[in-house]
Chains A and B, each alone.
Chain A
Amino acid sequence: MIVEALIHLVKVLLVIGFVMNVAGLLTWVERKQSAVMQDRIGANRADIFGFRLIGLFHPIADGLKMITKEDFIPPGGNRFLHTMAPFAAFFPALIAFAIIPFGDVLRVGGRIIPLQVVDFNVGVLYLLAVGGMSVYGVVLAGWSSNNKYSLLGGLRASAQLISYEITLGLSIIGVLMVFQTLQLSEINRLQGELLFGFIPKWGVVVQPLAFLLFFTAAVAESRRIPFDQPESESEIIGYFTEYSGMKWGMFMFADFIETVTVAGVATSVFFGGWQVPYLFADGFHFPWGSIVALPHLAVILLQVASFVFKVLFFCWLLMTIRWTLPRFRYDQVMRLGWKYLLPLSLFNILATGVVILALQAL
């Protein structure tokens, strides 16, 4: 009983530690990668005893600086809501990762430990519910700031978030129709099967259109360029204009955590999660017949490494998209969401249904 509770505790701390550390590193990656892409040197000034370590101390320096900054609450604003808004942005972004499996079942000393914090049988619904909560932080921040620009930014952000949530929900349905379950661990396990004996049955292989729709909507949900209308610095400044110090830092951090979460969801629903192609519970079974047997622990380590690698790859992809594309205009954002992505995602569901039934009838 106590051992089990301890195992749960370790898993929770592992996941939170992973997400927070990757998000913290991403603040550095964003600056360094943009610098490299724009032929600058980038963040490299923070040093400890003269060691600069290519600017890796910057996240720590940023954190310390934000904590020691003056905390400002606008006098005309709502004190309580103004304080709760960063919480409401930060909290759901962090707990969403609880549902994502980072490996298969670990067997140690007669114990069976699923490498996942919570294994809900309605995991995908939990993901959408928690993802939907992130609207509150944005709209509360805009409303409680007593600033016309913040209000406008908050309204734009909430309209954008709820528009793209529909596409987000509809695009995952195609995957659910293929795998017939809402449980993420089960979806991950089923993605280990092989199509025609050699193609891994990953979500992106069976639902390529759904992946494109999901990824576009997910970038919009994480409010990053090209969908960063809500914060567009050069036009309306955005919903956190009246925030300073650590509260502003929490909004910024929630953005990076959302990036990690989006990468995690894209990995586990569409890119096989912890699956390594041709790796089964007892080792590699290649389609040309050769078998490489591996011990259980090595298999689990390979799976976790594969998951982490895929998540980092998607983080990198999101960063690259952010520094490659210009920002959309607001009417373009809404037009893309309602007039292109929504009809396409409805079409994807019908097409998936017809194809699955046709394959069954054959």
Chain B
Amino acid sequence: MDTAFPLFLMLLFAGGLAGAMLAMGEFIGPKRLTSIKLEPFECGSTPIGPGRQRFNVKFYLVAMLFIIFDVEVVFLYPWAVIFRDLGVFGLVEMACFIFILAAALVYVWKRGALEWE
């Protein structure tokens, strides 16, 4: 009751507001579509080929690196909260963990995965 109910209310109102805005735009605005208007806007030139083309593999690489480091962040949260109780032992253990990940970052860096031309 203390956390679930107000959160439910918040989700309800925020969702209702967003839904109402979508619906208003959908129903109130005029609909006068022409074939020129329906073309994708690509700076005025006629579009060539489908809109969804192959894109640079670098974006996948960034996503994979994100997952590796984001999991690291999640591991660090519980450690940070009880850090004072663990003392020096906890710090040394986590320093090892961070150094292994820093080594991974250095490796990725040296292999050129972070370079964008």
- The proximity string for B residues 24-46 relative to A, scoring 1 for CB distances below 8 Å and 0 otherwise, is 11101111110001101111000
Is B22 a contact of A247 with CB atoms below 8 Å? yes
Q: Which of A11, A12, A67, A346 contacts B29 (CB 8 A)?
A: A67
Q: Which of A67, A95, A166 contacts B70 (CB 8 A)?
A: A166
A350 within 8 A of B: yes
Given contacts A67-B25, A68-B29, A165-B70, contact A74 B109 (CB under 8 A): no
Given contacts A67-B25, A334-B114, A350-B95, contact A8 B9 (CB under 8 A): yes
Is B42 a contact of A147 with CB atoms below 8 Å? yes
Tell me the bound Cα distance from A331 to B114 in angstroms.
9
Interface size on A, residues (CB 8 A): 83
Is B114 a contact of A118 with CB atoms below 8 Å? no
A70 within 8 A of B: yes
Is A90 a contact of B21 with CB atoms below 8 Å? yes
Given contacts A98-B10, A117-B6, A246-B22, contact A125 B80 (CB under 8 A): no
A186 → chain B closest CB, angstroms: 11
Name the interface residues of A346-362: CB closer than 8 Å to any CB of B: 346, 349-350, 353-354, 356-357, 360
User: What residues of B have a CB within 8 angstroms of the CB of A54 in the complex?
Assistant: none
Given contacts A163-B62, A170-B76, contact A177 B2 (CB under 8 A): no
Q: Give me the interface of B with A, judged by CB distance under 8 Å.
A: 1-3, 5-7, 9-11, 13-15, 17-19, 21-22, 24-26, 28-33, 37-38, 40-43, 47, 50-53, 55-56, 58-59, 62-63, 65-66, 69-70, 73, 76-77, 80-84, 87-88, 91, 94-95, 98, 101-102, 105, 109, 114-117
